[in-house]
Structure 1
Amino acid sequence: MTTNPFYPIGTPGQPWSELEKQQWRQSQTRYRFYKNDVLDVLHKLKHRYEIVQYGELRYDEDIYPLMAVKSQNWDDNLPVALISGGVHGYETSGVMGALGFLSECQNEYAGKVNLLVAPCVSPWAYERIARWNYNAVDPNRQFYPEGKAEESLALMAYISSLKARFIVHVDLHETTDSDENEYRPALAARDGIEFVPGTIPDGFYLVSDEQNSRLDFQRAIISAVEEVTHIAPSDDEGYMFGYPVASHGVVEYDNNAYHLCATMTDAPFTTTTEVYPDSAATSPEECIRAQIVTVRRAIEFALSN
């Protein structure tokens, strides 16, 4: 078996023990601060929204309040639009896009839909620009009752407690070069499996759930985002990452098989964004704008359909 020859932690072909996980954790560096980038922004918005703490993470000496933002005049008779960002902490435009949407949004959805935004689901990873949480677990594979990520379980519990009718859920993500040169090799090393090199699509795309396939919804978002940044093409065989491209810029597979965040509600309209910030053809500002445009178009489409 060919294993990843260069990942510096672990023994090729052997899954990590707690010792290797500790080594991985110690190799992570804090580059930014959740309080400054997220909590302080939410504090400035408290006059326009209801800010709710739905949980708390305690990792060594670090304490992270988990925050959600609700429409100030929440109406139980209205459906709910759920926006989640930062499930993977290193996917910056997801967090910034969620906060940007909240900052830009005024009262245009009043009386139509309740807004519920979880802008940074995984704050420990956000600070370290990492995919995994403190325990070397990918939160976006843990959205089910037996999941092993506190971040995912806390958000699921909060969503369940609302007993709300969700109409749309947009989960904001990125695909970066570090997926291929860091996180997939780390995954192979952690699980003691073969690392097979792949490619990163150049551009924005969406992940649709084949069990909840609304390609008209996905296409409407792609059409709007195309005005902001370029859309990733499929390969010569019509695939991305080995999954079929169901429509221009839309990959579709069974999201439940991977316990993805987008499966958390029974909303009829769900999608996961994937922005490619490392492309020479885009910028950080365009990536954030693409996330905001996605959220706006998704809500508009859901309300009109």
Structure 2
Amino acid sequence: MSSYPIGTPGEPWGETERAEWLSQQRRQRSYETDVLSAIERLRPHFNIEQYGHLDYGTDSYPLMAIRNRDWCDDLPVVLVTGGVHGYETSGVYGALQFVEQQAMNYAGRVNVLVAPCVSPWAYERIHRWNPNAVDPNRSFYPNSPAQESAALMQLVASVRDRVLMHIDLHETTDTDETEFRPALTARDGKPFAPDGIPDGFYLVDDSARPQPEFQQAVIEAVEKVTHIAPADDNGEIIGSRLVARGVIQYPLSQLGLCAGMTHARYKTTTEVYPDSAGATPDQCNAAQVAAVCAGIDYAQAHR
């Protein structure tokens, strides 16, 4: 059974345990300083919009999205999301860097829609969940229990059928094994089984509609920036069979994952490993940018 310090092993959390967990969460960085200020600097060249608002007690967060200035309804949409898990830093910074460094290169070719920090409360606390101990990245379905997920789905609703590519930027960190997976199993009253952390970048394709050539195009681009995660001794990455170099598959929509929220032909979830001895924070951010660009380039060329 899990030895997590909150709850009784084998019993799912109730309100008391969730309140105890919430009482231990502390703000460690600033969404306003790190994210909102970076978005504001993009305003001269992009359309910035608020698509929602989170109110958690005394904490209040505007949810912001970025669009290209020359939006054209005749063009397909590429969707970039980051910070669905707020603690996964390069997902947020990579999305912002893509807009700053590369997005204008796609003017007149595709419409670019970026939500760089879907979960600002969790960003500030370097956590996976929202304050209700709900994982937004398992909550992309109707009547979502996560405000973060519901707001993003509402933003995308009007273009949902026109999204050609959706890339959702994530990280797999050492704290997945030391904190977040133990917390998850404790919350759900299940035993914790250590699984290990893959050393390197990998992708999660959609098992319902796989696009292997698209995934490999992203892998090949990212490999120029950082190393690709090998399979473990069982031929797996985090318990899932490797279907190609650096690629595993999940049923994205069935699991309520962000990357499954549209009808995009091309979709993937990136997973950078920032705790690797062979990768720096700058490399992780650059890997996310490379993944986005490679994904858009492939999708546009194979519409």
Q: TM-score range by the shorter chain?
A: over 0.9
What residue number does 1:209 align with?
Answer: 206
Alignment partner of 1:134 is 2:151? no
Code of the residue aligned with 1:70 in structure 2: it is R
Query: Which residue matches 1:102?
Result: 99
CA distance in 2, matches of 1:237, 1:125: 33
Per-residue CA distance 1:85-117 (angstroms, 9 max, x = gap): 000000000000000111112532111100000
Is 2:28 the counterpart of 1:31? yes
Which residues of 2 match residues 246-285 of structure 1 at below 5 A? 246-285=243-282
Distance in 2 separating the partners of 1:282 and 1:109: 28
* Residues 1:67 and 2:32 aligned together: no
Letter in 2 for 1:44: R
Higher mean alpha-carbon deviation, 50-59 vs 8-17, is at 8-17
Q: Which residue identity lines up with residue 98 of structure 1 in the other structure?
A: A
* Alignment check: 8 A CA contact 1:76 1:164 kept: no
C-alpha displacement of 1:163: 5.6
Over aligned residue pairs, what C-alpha RMSD do you find?
1.0
Q: Which residue of 2 aligns with 1:90?
A: 87
What one-letter code is carried by the residue in structure 2 that aligns with 1:244?
R
Unaligned runs of 5+ in 2: none
Tell me the matched-pair count. Answer: 302
Whether 1:222 aligns to 2:206 is no
- CA shift digits 1:222-248 (9 cap, x unpaired): 011111100000123321122111110
Following TM superposition, by how much is the alpha carbon of 1:164 offset from its aligned partner in structure 2, in angstroms?
Answer: 5.6
In the TM superposition, 1:153-164 aligns within 5 A as: 153-162=150-159
* Structure 2 counterpart of 1:4, from 2, 6, 9: 2
* 2:49–2:64 Cα contact (<8 Å) kept: yes
Q: Which residue number corresponds to residue 300 of structure 1? A: 297
Match of 2:142 among 136, 139, 145: 145
TM-score normalised by L of structure 2: 0.98
Partner AA of 1:64 in structure 2: Y
- The answer to whether residue 252 in structure 2 is matched with residue 243 in structure 1 is no
- The one-letter amino acid of 2:296's match is I
Separation of aligned partners in 2, 1:106 and 1:59: 32
Question: 1-side partners of 2:15 and 2:128: how far apart?
Answer: 18
Out of 189, 193, 196, which is 1:196 matched to?
193
Residue in structure 1 matching 2:120, options 120, 123, 140: 123
What is the Cα deviation at residue 297 of structure 1?
A: 0.5
Confirm or deny: 8 A CA contact 2:273 2:284 kept in the other structure.
yes
CA distance in 1, matches of 2:232, 2:159: 42
Q: CA deviation at 1:147?
A: 2.0
| Matched position secondary structure for 1:29 | coil
Q: Tell me, what secondary structure is at the counterpart of 2:150?
A: helix
CA distance in 1, matches of 2:278, 2:37: 32
